[in-house]
Amino acid sequence: MHPLDNPIFNALGTCQANFAETYGVLRRFPPEVTPLGGFPGAYEEGFAALRGLLASGGGLGLFLPKRMDAPEGLEIMLEGALLQMILENDAQLEPNRHAHDFIELGATDVPEMVELATLTKPGPFATRTREMGTYLGIRKDGKLVAMAGERLKLPGYTEISAVCTHPDHLGHGYAGFLMTILANCIRERDERPFLHVRPENTRAVQLYERLGFKHRLLSHYAVFRATKPSAAHAEAKPK
């Protein structure tokens, strides 16, 4: 199996093991870093661990090879197809580093980063997501209007994520510019950039294709939570 076939689980077992919280065969990031986790192909054991983890509340996002029905005790809050793309080795990325002023985002920028991600919904972004890697941003009139950064890290690979632009500032090439800067930095470490995108987001997919990313894998994402007992079941429980 290719390491990118199960990227969350493999990242938490290698380059990002410092973040890993383990529950049986399940590994997850702390929720304030990112609400993602994974387990190996032993799905019965994996979902059993997930049930135990979520019994006290909360949710967890998984990348799955295909759509699966929620097993007993769990329900799906959100799901959809997920396209994984990887930058071709011969892709020529030559950004004009002077085209836009950009900055590396730090701890003081987190509230604006969360606000921008909440508005544009590029994927889960929490108060400690910035700790996963380098995040770059563009400000206009003092306001953060675009950003992109690094999320999952595996030996030889780094994911580009949280690519987003404020709706009032689309059309200036900010997303492609920031991605090019990041991709070149990743390549300088002898790693390959990859990313995940909803396939129905054609605007984003077309941008990534123009930059030289190719389709690698079509999978599925799902956010699970524990099933709440029905009213009838709750009433039937002994007091």
Question: Which residues are registered as beta bridge partners of 171?
Answer: none
Q: Residue holding tokens 């910035």?
A: 130
CATH class of the domain comprising 3-81+220-236:
alpha beta
Fold match between 3-81+220-236 and 85-218? yes
Under the banding of pLDDT at 50, 70 and 90, the label for residue 130 is: very high
Per-residue pLDDT tens over the stretch 188-204? 999 999 999 999 999 99
At 210-228, the pLDDT tens digits run 999 999 999 999 999 999 7
Domain regions of the chain by residue span: 3-81+220-236, 85-218
Tokens representing residue 13 in the block: 């077992």
Per-residue confidence band for 41, with pLDDT thresholds at 50, 70 and 90: confident
Q: Is 224 exposed, middle or buried (0-12, 13-18, 19+ CB in 10 A)?
A: buried
Q: Exposure pattern of 122-141 as b/e (b: 16+ CB <10 Å)?
A: bbbbbebbbbbbebbbbbee
**Percent of the chain whose pLDDT exceeds 90:** 87
Average pLDDT, the chain: 93
> pTM for the whole thing?
0.91
- Confidence tier at 229 by pLDDT (50, 70, 90): low
- Per-residue model confidence (pLDDT) at position 1: 87
| pLDDT confidence band for 92 (50 / 70 / 90) | confident
Phi, psi of 184 (to 5 degrees): -65, -40
Q: Give the pLDDT confidence score for residue 236 in this predicted structure.
A: 42
CATH class of 85-218: alpha beta
